[in-house]
Amino acid sequence: MSRHPAPAGAAPGRTARAAGLVGCRVCGLASPRDLATCPRCGAHLASRAPRSLQRVWALWLVGLMCYVPANLLPMLITDSVGQHYASTIVGGAVEIAAHDLPVALIILLASVAIPIAKFIAIAFLALSIRRRGRVPPAARVHLYEFVEFIGRWSMIDVFVVAILTALVHMGFFASIAPGPAAAFFAFSVIFTMLSAQAMDPRLIWDSAEPDAKHG
Amino acid sequence: MQGMSSSDLPPASGPARAEAAPAVELIACPVCDLLQRQADPPVNGRVSCARCGEVLMTNRRGALERTLVASISSVILMVAAIVFPFLELSVAGLSSSASVLEVALAFRGTIVAALSIATLLLIVVIPLIRAAALTYTLLPLILGRRPAPRAERAFRLARELKPWAMAEVFVVGVAVALVKIAGMASISLGPAFWALAGVVVLVISEGASLCEWTVWREIERARKAPPAGTRRVAA
Ligand SMILES: [Zn+2]
Ligand SMILES: [Zn+2]
């Protein structure tokens, strides 16, 4: 029924929106568009999450603003027999690399590679909704699902700092305290998770429709 | 213009009464919004979206029961993980131990005190609330009773909290911390560590088996069923 040749991966059929219905993202039920909440699960209904992209970008920016000081300020402050030593995220990973390379790589992956890849991926996905690119929607949705899955694993380093702080007390052979970067990093992870959650993947498929007419 | 013919809809099974009662017949893919008929997945099979391939529903035998068992066990294990010591560190005759609660509150009194609340939520409070909400929702369904009051709200809560329950991330953090101080002191794992490791196994197995949309249908059917009716779960 489409006047245009179907894009790769498209199957015949119709979106709930085109049929005058609204799909519930929580339980799947399609309801008439005038319902505000889903009759099956009680979730708030919206054909597309309202102001999805604005919220994605706002949360993305806050996450990025937290990420910069998280890398510049000390993450861990060690006091060992009178010596005061502060290390950043990358500095701490480099120290570990000297005696345990795999663990250093896990920290670099969780604290540096994943967060940066997430910022890039979310920005790419948000931009691709506005201007049509060559990446097919199915691939973009896979990227989106990967970003959602991987986000929480960035919290590893924050937990490491918490464990070390709790375990290594003052009066012991050393004392370990968290640096300000721990808070900045945790909030960066939380805000990028919220940013990814604010994105409505249905917008990704909308952007690939041959006759994308909005409103 | 908005009227639709049933022949447009991909999986055809049974009569379609789209205009009359869309509320009972149709589902929409959460990823691409494709409208399709609600079809029951075959036993140990799945229903996927005809357009984007997203798995919409699965039907694993005993998925609800397994999730319930996992939830109840993880509450018990979480309590054990909180009560018992977690890690013990000893160096030159001195020793120090930490419980999960102490770890969660490690940031209090430091310049990043706000993180204590966040950590406590992520590794203790949210996993416990999730397990309790899942138990509350699934137990009546499995027993063939009417859903508990506000079961829908409880199950939605469990879903919303899922990304924020970070017990398994915490366990990987423990492994990294062990390596970090391995050179300075000897460390032993307390019973709480193994309890937490158990929680991780349960969380992962629960995620693999539970089909949320099946639970929603079961809740809906149980609400509509006559009070005395005995039902089969996940027919
Ligand atoms: Zn719903
Ligand atoms: Zn789909």
Secondary structure of A80-108 in the HEC alphabet?
Answer: ECCEEEEECHHHHHHHHHHHCHHHHHHHH
Q: Which two tokens stand for residue B3?
A: 């009227």
Q: Which two tokens stand for residue A41?
A: 């699960």
- Kindly give the pairing relationship between strand B26-28 and strand A21-23: unpaired
> Among all chains, which residue has been given the structure tokens 């409070």?
B125
Q: What is the pLDDT of residue A2?
A: 36
Number of A to B CB contacts under 8 A, please give it. Answer: 241
Which has the closest alpha carbon to B70: B61, B60, B62?
Answer: B62
List the single residue in B115, B152, B177 with the smallest CB-CB distance to A163. Answer: B177
Q: What is the pLDDT of residue A51?
A: 93
CB of A24 within 8 Å of a chain B CB? The answer is yes
User: pLDDT tens digits, chain A, 215 residues: what are they?
Assistant: 333 333 333 344 889 999 999 999 999 999 999 999 999 999 999 999 999 999 999 999 999 999 999 999 999 888 877 778 888 999 888 888 887 888 888 888 888 999 999 999 999 999 999 877 788 999 999 999 999 999 889 898 899 888 888 887 655 667 888 999 999 999 999 999 999 999 999 999 998 876 554 43
Q: How far is CA B169 from CA A6, A44, A196, A198, in A?
A: 42, 30, 19, 22
- Which chain B residues in 106-145 lie under 8 Å from chain A, judged by CB atoms? 106-107, 110-112, 114-115, 118-119, 122-123
CA–centroid distance for A124 within its chain: 12
Burial class from Cβ neighbours inside 10 Å (0-12, 13-18, 19+) for residue A97 reads: middle
Ramachandran quadrant class, B117 (left: phi over 0; alpha: psi -120 to 50; beta: rest): alpha
Q: Cβ atoms within 10 A of the Cβ of A84, count?
A: 8
Shortest Cα distance, chain B CAs vs residue A181, angstroms: 9
Q: Cβ atoms within 10 A of the Cβ of A156, count?
A: 26
Shortest Cα distance, chain B CAs vs residue A27, angstroms: 5
Give phi and psi for A39, each to the nearest 5.
-70, -20
Residue ranges of the domains in chain B? 17-58, 63-224
Contact criterion met (CB below 8 Å) for B40 and B59:
yes
- In this complex, do B169 and A205 lie within 8 Å of one another by their Cβ atoms? no
List the single residue in A13, A162, A164 with the smallest CB-CB distance to B10. Answer: A13
Distance, in Å, from the CA atom of A177 to the CA atom of A43, rounded to the nearest integer, reads 43
Contacts of A30 in chain B (CB under 8 A): 22-23, 26-28, 35
Ion ligand 1: residues, CB < 5 A = A 24, 26-27, 29, 38, 40-41, 43
Compute the distance from residue A25 Cα to the ligand 1 centre, in Å: 7
Residue ranges of the domains in chain A? 14-47, 51-206
Distance, in Å, from the CA atom of A95 to the CA atom of A88, rounded to the nearest integer, reads 10
- In this complex, do B9 and A13 lie within 8 Å of one another by their Cβ atoms? yes
Distance, in Å, from the CA atom of A118 to the CA atom of A90, rounded to the nearest integer, reads 18
The amino acid sitting at A120 is I
- At residue B34, the 3 state secondary structure works out as strand
The CATH class for the domain spanning A51-206 reads mainly alpha
Contact criterion met (CB below 8 Å) for B126 and B203:
no
- At residue B210, the 3 state secondary structure works out as coil
Residue B20 clears pLDDT 80, i.e. is over it = no
pTM of the predicted model, to two decimals? 0.85
* Lowest mean per-residue pLDDT among A26-40, B5-19, B147-161: B5-19
Q: Which two tokens stand for residue B145?
A: 């009773």
Q: Cβ atoms within 10 A of the Cβ of B79, count?
A: 12
Secondary structure of B67-101 in the HEC alphabet?
Answer: HHHHHHHHHHHHHHHHHCEEEEEEECCEEEEEEHH
Compute the distance from residue B157 Cα to the ligand 1 centre, in Å: 13
CA–centroid distance for B117 within its chain: 22
Query: For B92-148, how does the pLDDT look when each residue is reduced to its tens digit (9 = 90+)?
Result: 777 778 888 888 888 887 778 888 888 889 988 998 999 899 999 999 999 989 999
Going B73 to B74 to B76 to B77, the CA torsion angle's sign is positive
CB of B79 within 8 Å of a chain A CB? The answer is no
Q: What is the ipTM of this complex?
A: 0.84
Contact criterion met (CB below 8 Å) for B52 and A141:
yes
**E-strand stretches of B108-228:** 186-189
The architecture CATH gives domain B63-224? Up-down Bundle (1.20)
Among A87, A148, A165, A194, the strongest candidate for a mutation testing the B interface, having the largest count of B CBs within 10 A, is A165
Residue B5 clears pLDDT 70, i.e. is over it = no
Q: Cβ atoms within 10 A of the Cβ of B15, count?
A: 7
Least CA distance to A141: which residue of chain B?
Answer: B31
